[in-house]
Amino acid sequence: MAYELAIIFVRGLGLGAIYSLIALSFNVVYMSSGILNFAQGNILVLAGLLAALLSPPEVSVSLWLVLMLVVGCMLTLAVAAQGAMTLAPLRSSTEQHSWLVSTMAVSVIIGASILIVQGPFAVTAPYPFPGVRILGVRTPFAYLAVTALLVLCFVALQLFLRRTRTGVAISALAQDLELARATGLRVRLLQVVSFGISGAILGVTGFVAAPVISIAPDSGISYILSGFIAAVIGGMGNLYGALVGGPIVGVMAMSSAYLFGGEFQNLVLLTLLVAVLMVRPQGLFGRMSTRHV
Amino acid sequence: MISMSRLCPYAFALSQILVVAGAAPASAQDKEPITMGVLLPLTGFGAPVAEAGRIGIELAVKELNEAGGIDGRQINIVIADDQSDASIAVNEVKRLVHQAGIDVLIGSAVSQNNLAILPVLNEAKIPSISLSGAQTLTTEAGPYHFSLFVNAEFQSIAMVDYAKNVLNAQSAAVIADAGAQGKFAAEALKRDMEAAGIRHTGTQEYAYRATDLTPQLLSLKRGDPETLFVFPSTGEDAGTILKTLEDIGWEVNVTGNWSMSGLAGPILQIAGPDAFRNTIGLNYTAFTYCPDDTAATPYEGFVKRAQDFAGDRFSRVSQNLSAIFYESVMVYNAAVQGTGGDMSGPAIAQWIEANISSYSGMFDDLVASPTNHFLAGPRTLTAVHPDRQRPGGMFERIDCQ
Q: For residue range B30-73, list pLDDT tens digits in order.
A: 678 999 999 999 988 888 889 899 999 999 999 999 999 999 99
Residue A117 pLDDT exceeds 80: yes
Check A216 against B209: CB less than 8 A apart: yes
Model pLDDT, residue B23:
43
Model pLDDT, residue B16:
44
Model pLDDT, residue B5:
46
- SS3 (DSSP) at A91: coil
Å from A134 to nearest chain B CA? 10
- Is A286 inside any structural domain? no
Give the burial class of B87: count Cβ atoms within 10 A of its Cβ; 0-12 exposed, 13-18 middle, 19 or more buried.
exposed
Q: Are strands B104-107 and B34-40 parallel, antiparallel or unpaired?
A: parallel
CATH number of the domain that residue A113 is part of: 1.10.3470
End-to-end CA, chain B: 81
- Is A36 inside any structural domain? yes
- Give percent above pLDDT 90 in chain A: 73
Chain A to chain B, count of Cβ pairs less than 8 Å apart? 106
Q: Report the range of poorest mean pLDDT among A238-247, B145-154, B194-203, B267-276.
A: B267-276
| B65 or A118: which leads in pLDDT | B65
Residues of chain B with CATH 3.40.50.2300: 24-150+285-378, 152-284+381-397
CATH class of B152-284+381-397: alpha beta
From chain B, pick out residues whose CB is under 8 angstroms from the CB of A121. Answer: 47-48, 266, 316
Mean pLDDT of the residues in chain B: 89
Please name the amino acid found at residue B82.
Answer: D
Model pLDDT, residue A292:
55
Q: Which of B45, B51, B211 sits opposite A119 (nearest CB)?
A: B51
Model pLDDT, residue B25:
46
Residue A293 pLDDT exceeds 70: no
From chain B, pick out residues whose CB is under 8 angstroms from the CB of A205. Answer: none
Residue A271 pLDDT exceeds 60: yes
Among B175, B214, B217, most A C-beta atoms within 10 A, so best to mutate, is: B214
What is the sign, positive or negative, of the torsion defined by CA atoms of A172, A174, A176, A182? positive
Å from A54 to nearest chain B CA? 17
Give the mean model confidence (pLDDT) for residues B2-27. Answer: 44
B258, B281 Cβ separation under 8 angstroms: yes
Model pLDDT, residue A177:
83
Check B212 against A15: CB less than 8 A apart: yes
Residue A136 pLDDT exceeds 80: yes
The C-alpha atoms of residue B353 and residue B296 are separated, in whole angstroms, by: 30
The count of residues in chain A is 293
- A80: CB partners within 8 A, 6+ apart: A192, A193, A195, A196, A199
Check B203 against A261: CB less than 8 A apart: yes
B204, B219 Cβ separation under 8 angstroms: yes
Residue B137 pLDDT exceeds 90: no
What is the sign, positive or negative, of the torsion defined by CA atoms of B245, B246, B251, B257? positive
CB atoms within 10 A of CB B354: 13
Check B50 against A212: CB less than 8 A apart: no
Question: Chain B residue closest to A140 (CA)?
Answer: B247
Give the mean model confidence (pLDDT) for residues B390-400. Answer: 90
Q: Does A113 touch chain B (CB under 8 A)?
A: no
Q: How many domains does chain A have?
A: 1
From chain A, pick out residues whose CB is under 8 angstroms from the CB of B207. Answer: 222, 262, 265-266
Among A19, A107, A108, A121, most B C-beta atoms within 10 A, so best to mutate, is: A121
Residue B179 pLDDT exceeds 90: no
Q: Are strands B288-289 and B394-397 parallel, antiparallel or unpaired?
A: parallel
A79, A43 Cβ separation under 8 angstroms: yes
Q: Does A146 touch chain B (CB under 8 A)?
A: no
What is the sign, positive or negative, of the torsion defined by CA atoms of A102, A107, A113, A119? negative
Question: Chain B residue closest to A254 (CA)?
Answer: B215
Q: Which residues of A136-173 are buried (b: 16+ CB within 10 A; e: fewer)?
A: ebbbbbbbbbbbebbeebbeebeebbeeeeebebbebb
Q: Within 13 Å of residue A132, how many CA atoms lie on the same side as its CB?
A: 10
CATH class of B24-150+285-378: alpha beta
Give the mean model confidence (pLDDT) for residues A255-269. Answer: 91
HEC string of chain B? CCCHHHHHHHHHHHHHHHHHHHCCCHHHHHCCCEEEEEEECCCCCCHHHHHHHHHHHHHHHHHHHHCCCECCECEEEEEEECCCCHHHHHHHHHHHHHHHCCCEEEECCCHHHHHHHHHHHHHHCCCEEECCCCCCCCCCCCCCEEECCCCHHHHHHHHHHHHHHCCCCCEEEEEEECCHHHHHHHHHHHHHHHHHCCEEEEEEEECCCCCCCHHHHHHHHCCCCCEEEEECCCHHHHHHHHHHHHHCCCCCEEEECCHHHHCHHHHHHHHCCCCCCCEEEEEEHHHEECCCCCCCCHHHHHHHHHHHHHCHHHHCCCHHHHHHHHHHHHHHHHHHHHCCCCCCHHHHHHHHHHHHHHCCCCCCCECCECCECECECHHHEEEEEEEEEECCCEEEECCCC
Q: Report the range of poorest mean pLDDT among A95-99, B274-278, B303-307, B317-321.
A: A95-99
Among A109, A134, A254, most B C-beta atoms within 10 A, so best to mutate, is: A254
From chain B, pick out residues whose CB is under 8 angstroms from the CB of A123. Answer: 269
- B282: CB partners within 8 A, 6+ apart: B150, B155, B158, B159, B256, B257, B258, B260, B261, B381, B382, B383, B384
Q: What is the pLDDT of residues B204-242, one digit of tens each?
A: 999 888 889 999 999 999 999 999 999 998 888 999 999
The boundaries of the domain holding residue A131 are: 2-279
Residue B14 pLDDT exceeds 80: no
Residues 155-214 of A with CB under 8 A from B: 212-214
Question: Chain B residue closest to A215 (CA)?
Answer: B209
Among B45, B51, B83, B212, most A C-beta atoms within 10 A, so best to mutate, is: B212
Q: How does residue A88 score in pLDDT terms, banded at 50, 70 and 90?
A: confident
Check A120 against B246: CB less than 8 A apart: no
B372, B356 Cβ separation under 8 angstroms: no
Model pLDDT, residue B273:
82
Q: Are strands B253-256 and B394-397 parallel, antiparallel or unpaired?
A: unpaired
Q: Which of B48, B210, B246 sits opposite A120 (nearest CB)?
A: B48
Model pLDDT, residue A291:
58
Q: What is the pLDDT of residues B292-341, one digit of tens each?
A: 888 889 999 999 999 999 998 898 888 999 999 999 999 999 999 999 99
Q: Report the range of poorest mean pLDDT among A56-60, A234-238, B208-212.
A: B208-212
Residue A51 pLDDT exceeds 80: yes
Q: What is the pLDDT of residues B342-377, one digit of tens each?
A: 999 999 999 999 999 999 889 878 999 999 999 998
The C-alpha atoms of residue B255 and residue A38 are separated, in whole angstroms, by: 40
Residue B3 pLDDT exceeds 60: no
Q: What is the pLDDT of residues A9-34, one digit of tens each?
A: 999 999 999 999 999 999 999 999 88
The C-alpha atoms of residue B287 and residue A68 are separated, in whole angstroms, by: 43
Q: What is the dihedral of CA A62, A121, A39, A14, to 10 degrees?
A: -50
Q: How does residue B19 score in pLDDT terms, banded at 50, 70 and 90?
A: very low
Q: How does residue A289 score in pLDDT terms, banded at 50, 70 and 90?
A: low
From chain A, pick out residues whose CB is under 8 angstroms from the CB of B47. Answer: 115, 119-121, 217-218
Model pLDDT, residue B271:
87
Give the mean model confidence (pLDDT) for residues A234-260. Answer: 94
B49, A223 Cβ separation under 8 angstroms: no
Residues 33-62 of B with CB under 8 A from A: 42-45, 47-48, 50-51
Check A122 against B266: CB less than 8 A apart: yes
Q: Does A252 touch chain B (CB under 8 A)?
A: no
